[in-house]
Amino acid sequence: MKHLLFCMFFISTLGLYAQDASIFGTISDENNQPVPYATVTLAGTTKGAQANADGYYRIEQLDGGQYTLQFSGIGYLKISQKITLTANQNLEVNISLQTDLKALNEVVITSNRVRETLDEVPSSVSVISAKELETFQQTSTNVADVLLEVPGMSLSTNQTSNTGQTLRGRKMLVLIDGIPQSTPLRNGSRDINTIDPSTIERIEVIKGATAIYGNGADGGIVNYITKKTDAAKRFNSETVLGSTGALKIIDKTVGANISQTFSGNLDKLGYVVSGTFRQTGVFRDADGEVVSPYYGIGETDQYSLFGKLNYQIADNHKVEVMYNYFSSNQNSDYVAQVGEYGVTPSIGILGEDLSVDQGNRYNHNAQLTYDFTNIFKNTDFKLNLYAQDFRTVYGYTVSFYDPDLGYDGGQSSIISTKMGARFNFNTTYEFGSVTGNILYGLDVLNDVTAQELIDGRPWVPETDMTNIAPYAQLKAMYSDFVIKAGIRFENIGIHIPDYVTLTRYAAGATTPSSGGVAVEGGDLDYNATTFNVGLRYNKWAVFKPFVSFSQSFSIADLGRTLRSATESTVSQINSDAVIANNYEIGFNSRIGQTNFSGAYFISTSKFGATYTELPSGIFEIDRQPERVYGFEIAADTRLSQHFNLGGSLSYTEGKLDVENNDNYDTYMNSDRIPPLKGVLYLGYNLGSDFNARISYIYSGNRDHFEANANGDYSYGQGPISSFNLVNLTTSYKMSPSTTIGLGIENLLNEDYYNLLSQFAARDNDYIKANGTRFNVSLKVKI
């Protein structure tokens, strides 16, 4: 028995030592520039690794023998290399990949719950890669500005609020690693600015109605995918120091930021942790005037803390935990001097603000992900358990004046807590010449949202929603055809307690103008079945067409309806859900070194979600049928070895059927429908040492509405004038570990008003946009 135990111990020890060999190296392109996040696999095995941001990879715990290494990266030709590895050897294999602009189908999308290439998706998708994200951050550290060039996306507001920043004329569902950030029960329009851009690995934008993530995705989804753990080295360090400011008058505009990231891999444990602090200075317009701090993002303190760990339990078991904290609060020495809409802008003047700091007070996101490959035959399983805790605070307003309680005004705050689970199965199949997969599972979400004033007065009661939704998606590929079809069953229950609507007084009045209605609470149930079907044809590289139909389900800002209720019971309130039907036809094309894409879409819904401002200043939701339509075209080409050129054009329009007679003859407000947007850019790349990019953004006119007898416009109907922006980014690699960058926002110092400032048609919102601003950075990697 002793000898048997000794032999077993000896053999197992040999086995351990036999797996001490490793392969490592760097993956670069034809210009000796690192290829970040390329993939390395050992053919015929489950072993592999992903390169880090510097193209470095490492595969450990290997036996001696012959292997075939396979290298691939998005936008590069795949390459294989055979090697012979001896026991305990550390073999260095450096590879150079050739750029393949023809590899359009290599763009990978993960927001559909399973990894897919663009050629497998019959719908419009935009992906902001890690490299592009780094470029856009060099111009602006505001994550809403990073989305500036996405076709179909409205321009950002230069405020904490993203009101008017819609996707194809409808609201979008914003996610962080699939965790919902939007607050559809009381849409506060602060879901885009809920994460620091330094935390993001890439951004995926899926356009058009989609029910794959449930409530709120009428226009599509924006998924911020956080940084991955580094599977190549044991330890990496990245430090970024930066400064921002205005160039017209720099006084009091200088801000600073510091970001530190550690990442690596310790055997089966991968990790990445980062922390960021940003402090912005005063924002100034093109004339050097201080921009009004009303809902502003100037003079803010921003904190971000992020961590992710994953552990490879076995070859087919992996667990990952993620946590992200984000906070951005304004601490201004200025107060708003309100101007006059259409005449003089609101500006900032020195003064004492008696209100508390406004902004996203905190946003906690946590997620546990468990992957079980081949849980049973041809089937993978993924479990996501997540939680979000969010609070945002709005600015002070005298509209909350209440002389009976002694309040001159007040500030509102939205508090939202979500907990959810996603059970996801993916079964692959093959029937003769037909291959594909079936994606199916169950989503469970609990969302508790309320809106209250900082002084404690309730405005929207604590609304408790439980959403249970089974779903299934089928993909079939035959020859050059790809067919996708899916179904989702929404089962939503919402509990609303008894409450009293907030009493509102006009300025200086002694009797209430509205509110004070005692509403008997109750339960609301929403049950709906949504469908999607799409077809794509991939035979010709010069023309790959697709056509699709998809539906989404959402509740049209129930909180806004509840807080202005005039009925005595919840059951009498009009709160019908919105089911949007999206019809789309599009194509991708490749001719030589040039890529084209285009799409035309129509989105309809029986019940609308457009706000109308009443004479009392209170908003209500119009429920008339809606039709939103438009097109997007985009192209990029390589002019030479060092130059590339690209651009896009986005057009969206929307109309209402106000008489409910199938006659869509009334234009929708501009808080939903943006003007024409055009983007043109020219990039220059000199190997790995120097990169530059200049971009031109055009925003057109939209003027469909008439002023009233007093010359005033209703909210959302102010005329929009066109403007032109030019942004510049550059970076220079001083050494293998050190890079400096310079970005210039509004290079030509265009004097203009943001879209929100124009369409809102209100004195408070009539604020000029930023003048020329700089952003310098120093990045050091170890």
pLDDT tens across 581-629, in order?
Answer: 999 999 999 998 899 999 999 999 987 666 666 555 555 666 789 999 9
Question: What average pLDDT does the chain have?
Answer: 89
| DSSP per-residue string spanning 675-696 | --EEEEEEEEEETTTEEEEEEE
Mean pLDDT of 562-587: 84
Half-sphere exposure for 731 (CA within 13 Å, toward CB):
22
pLDDT tens string 220-245? 999 999 998 876 678 889 999 999 99
Closest C-alpha among 224, 35, 57 to residue 131: 35
Average pLDDT over residues 663-684: 95
Task: Report, as an integer, the average pLDDT of 643-647.
Answer: 95
pLDDT in tens, 530-564: 999 999 999 998 999 999 999 988 887 888 888 88
User: Which amino acid type is present at position 664?
Assistant: Y
Six-digit token string for 170: 């409808």
Closest Cα partner for 675 from 715, 722, 629, 640?
722
Confidence class for position 211, pLDDT limits 50, 70, 90:
low
Q: What residues contact residue 8 under an 8 Å CB cut-off, 6+ apart?
A: none
**Per-residue model confidence (pLDDT) at position 774:** 96
122: phi then psi, degrees, rounded to nearest 5:
-85, 60
SS3 193: coil
- For residue 282 the two structure tokens come to 């005063």
Distance from the first to the final alpha carbon of the chain: 52
Domain-by-domain residue ranges, the chain?
19-97, 114-207, 220-781
pLDDT given for residue 78 in this prediction: 82
3-state secondary structure of 30: coil
CATH of domain 220-781: 2.40.170.20
Q: What is the Cα–Cα distance from 394 to 244, expressed in whole angstroms?
A: 25
**Strand locations in 177-282 (E):** 179-180, 200-207, 220-226, 236-246, 255-266, 269-279
Tell me, what amino acid is at 622?
Answer: D
Question: How far from chain centre, in Å, is Cα 391?
Answer: 18
Q: Cα–Cα distances in Å, from 335 out to 9, 216, 249, 282, 302?
A: 75, 35, 19, 12, 20
The reported pTM is: 0.87
449 neighbors 440 (Cβ within 8 angstroms) = no
Q: Is the pLDDT of residue 482 over 60?
A: yes
Per-residue HEC secondary structure of 207-218 comes to: ECCCCCCCCCCC
pLDDT at position 36 over 90 = no
Quote the tokens at residue 536.
């794509």
Q: How far apart are CA 239 and CA 237, in angstroms?
A: 7
Pull the structure tokens for residue 496.
């609303």
**Longest CA–CA separation in the chain, Å:** 103
Distance of alpha carbon 619 from its chain centroid, rounded? 27
Residues ≥6 apart with Cβ < 8 Å to 297: 142, 158, 159, 160, 193, 280, 283, 328, 330
Q: Which residues share a beta bridge with 413? A: 393, 452
Which pLDDT value is given to residue 624? 85
Q: How far is CA 701 from the centre of its chain?
A: 26
Of the chain, the percentage scoring pLDDT greater than 90 comes to 61
* pLDDT above 90 (res 362): yes
The C-alpha atoms of residue 560 and residue 453 are separated, in whole angstroms, by 14
CATH fold for the domain made of 114-207: Ferric Hydroxamate Uptake Protein; Chain A, domain 1 (2.170.130)
According to the model, what pLDDT value does residue 716 have?
92
Phi, psi of 167 (to 5 degrees): -120, 115
SS3 of 261, please?
strand
CB atoms within 10 A of CB 250: 14
Is residue 4 predicted with pLDDT exceeding 50? no
**How far is C-alpha 666 from the geometric centre of its chain's CA atoms?**
31
Ranked by mean pLDDT, the top range of 132-136, 443-447, 732-736 is: 443-447
| Percent of the chain residues past pLDDT 70, beyond the cut | 92
Q: Rounded to whole angstroms, how far apart are CA atoms 276 and 256?
A: 11
Domain at 19-97: CATH code: 2.60.40.1120
